[in-house]
Structure 1
Amino acid sequence: MVGVDHRQPDLARRAASLVQSLGGSLVELVCVWVDETAVTEPNGFSVSVDPDIVVTDDNYAADVLAGLNRSMADVGLPWTAVRGAGEPSRELTRIADEVGAAMIVIGARRGGLRGWATSMVGGTVAGHLIHGQRRPVVVLPEAALVDDAEDER
């Protein structure tokens, strides 16, 4: 299972590559986008906690799904997309339990002042998952950092 967002559009593809390098050609990759601006009501519908955002299951996540479709078009691994709502580490754990995930793959925290401030206030998603998870958690660095390291060789 891989946690995806719009800031790292190639993360699902890189997770698929990791799965394939580990010999998993028949494994289905579950791509999970967690909408932090929404909560799930008891009836199963996601509603925004921000009154300025109108959430509909058809339109709100369309850009994330479209990005996944583009990125995963020729990956050669079966995959599905799932939308979650709420606090990312809790929701990723819940969905991983639900689908029986062997591992959770996520991207490294975003850089810059906002990423630093977020990690100082609430911790990182990776930190929460690593300390509260019974399955392996793999944190992939940003693609730009990986590309830069390969260029230096």
Structure 2
Amino acid sequence: MTDASPQIGRRPYRPVIVGVIPGQSPRVVQEAASYARLHDAPLLVTHVDITRFVSYEDPDGYVHTAPINLDAVPSEALAAQMRDEVTRSLAGVDVPWTLELLVGDPAMALKDVAEKTDARLIVVGTRKRGIGESIREFFTGSVGARLAHRQPRPILVVPLGEPARDDEDLWPGA
């Protein structure tokens, strides 16, 4: 395991990138690790904090951020939580990985880091089903779909939970 750090200088070259959120199924990270092993590539685990935005960037590349909500979870606590979740998800998996915290729009942040690292693949999970998630997806769109239309790398979308039945309404009440 590589020490998790949001420092730009420590980004791996040609990684498999996986986007994660707190409490997400470990399956997403495990699938990404499988592809990283298959390609003999490092795994770059990324979390995009949508509660923060880039306020400015120094000439040396250091990014200063500010919270949208002043009551938001501090970045240090979020980094520790994400590091612990990824460590548990990858227990017994022999693949080098790094954690990087990004801010802003998830699709655009993942696209940017993929371009900067010349990523081999981007892995994301599906959203949970439900009316709240359906409304959110209606307004913001699917991260996987937005990535597929805005950059040239392959995208792997890992289903979370049980798949819907063929006759099940995916967006009830919408």
- Identify the residue that residue 33 of structure 2 maps to in structure 1: 16
- Identify the residue that residue 91 of structure 2 maps to in structure 1: 73
RMSD: 1.7
Aligned pairs, number:
141
Q: Structure 1 stretch 39-48 or stretch 66-75: which is displaced more?
A: 39-48
Tell me if 1:36 matches 2:50. Answer: yes
Which of 19, 32, 47 aligns to 2:66? It is 47
| Separation of aligned partners in 2, 1:17 and 1:92 | 19
Which of 125, 132, 135 aligns to 1:107? It is 125
Following superposition, which runs of at least 4 residues in structure 1 exceed 6 angstroms of deviation? Answer: none
| Separation of aligned partners in 2, 1:79 and 1:61 | 14
- Identify the residue that residue 114 of structure 2 maps to in structure 1: 96
Structure number having the greater helix percentage: 1
- Identify the residue that residue 121 of structure 1 maps to in structure 2: 139
- Identify the residue that residue 152 of structure 2 maps to in structure 1: 134
| Separation of aligned partners in 2, 1:75 and 1:130 | 28
- Identity, in percent, stands at 29
| Separation of aligned partners in 2, 1:47 and 1:55 | 11
- Structure 1 residues 52 and 128: CA distance shift in structure 2, 3 A: same
Q: Do the aligned residues in 2 keep the contact of 1:38 with 1:85 (CA within 8 Å)?
A: yes
Q: Shift of the alpha carbon at 1:103?
A: 1.1
- Structure 1 residues 123 and 133: CA distance shift in structure 2, 3 A: same
Q: Shift of the alpha carbon at 1:78?
A: 1.0
The C-alpha deviation readout for 1:13-57, integer Å capped at 9, x for no partner, is 22112443xx32x3101110000101122241232111222634x
| Separation of aligned partners in 2, 1:75 and 1:41 | 37
Q: TM-score, normalised by structure 2?
A: 0.74
